[in-house]
Amino acid sequence: MYFPVIRNNRNNWLDTAFNDLFDMDWTPRHVTTAPAVNVKENDTAFTMEVAAPGLKKEFCKVNINNEGNLVVKIENKAEHEDKSGEEEGAKFHYVRREFSYTNYEQTYILPDEVDKEHISAKVEDGILSIELPKIAPEPEKKMDRVIDIA
């Protein structure tokens, strides 16, 4: 007995994915993701690491706001224009471009033990590192004193 195979394109995810890839009628998609943040601690400091591929020093702003919180801003200043070019001698143009970086701003409440006057930051290999030194504990004062009894 023969059973014909009926293909229903509505359920064929491969055709849909392929068609979506080359669909020239896109509407802008806004996918918002925050950069990954690691926080390390040792005896003398906390270190925040904010990862964003292609991150440059010029894109970053780090400050302490009026409430004493740490504010980290990453502002993409890249131009979004459709470009063509040449790679390895072959000319090309973009059929689809998805590399896009948006602006990011996050406020962090700092622990009381952070020395806000000596916070430093640097960008290296796409990672913004923020060093948050701890306030050095004051040595315990030993006091030997006689208390008068009234």
* % residues pLDDT > 90 (the chain): 37
Span 8-35, pLDDT tens digits: 444 554 455 445 544 545 444 444 567 8
Instruction: List C-alpha distances in Å: 106 to 12, 69, 121, 132.
Output: 41, 10, 15, 16
Of 22-26, 56-60, 83-87, where does the model show the most confidence? Answer: 56-60
Strands 84-87 and 90-93, how do they pair? antiparallel
User: CA geometry: angle at 42 spanning 38 and 43, to 5°?
Assistant: 155
- Residue 98 confidence (pLDDT): 63
- For range 89-105, the mean pLDDT: 71
- Residue 18 confidence (pLDDT): 46
Separation of alpha carbons 12 and 2, rounded Å: 23
* Per-position DSSP letters for 113-124, written without gaps between them: TB-GGG-EEEEE
pLDDT above 50 for 106: yes
Helix (H, G, I), strand (E, B) or coil at 103: coil
Higher pLDDT, 121 or 35: 121
Of 1-5, 24-28, 37-41, 89-93, where does the model show the most confidence? Answer: 37-41
pTM of the predicted structure, to 2 decimals: 0.60
| DSSP secondary structure code for residue 43 in this structure | S
Separation of alpha carbons 115 and 108, rounded Å: 15
